[in-house]
Amino acid sequence: MGNLITDRWNSLTLKKIIFIMSQVAQALRFLHLNKIVHLDLKPENILFLKNFAIKLIDFGEAYHPLVPY
């Protein structure tokens, strides 16, 4: 029995990869339009939900010009 995550990634088709990356691009566009910079975008900060839907997490390093530090 293999690792579920590894097995799932190894079965990615080009169509699924494009779907995932388009979601990442849409999320970054949303952040950009709201003047938010994530500053810590990496695979560990992308959660995968059912059907390969994604959520960006860990905004601890994020920057927004209206939020004081």
Report how far apart, in Å, the C-alpha atoms of 64 and of each of 28, 45, 68 are: 14, 18, 8
Could you say which of 19, 40, 46, 59 is catalytic? 40
Task: Give the residue from 27, 30, 20 showing the smallest Cα distance to 51.
Answer: 20
Residues in the chain: 69
Is residue 58 part of the annotated active site? The answer reads no
List, by residue number, the catalytic residues.
Answer: 40
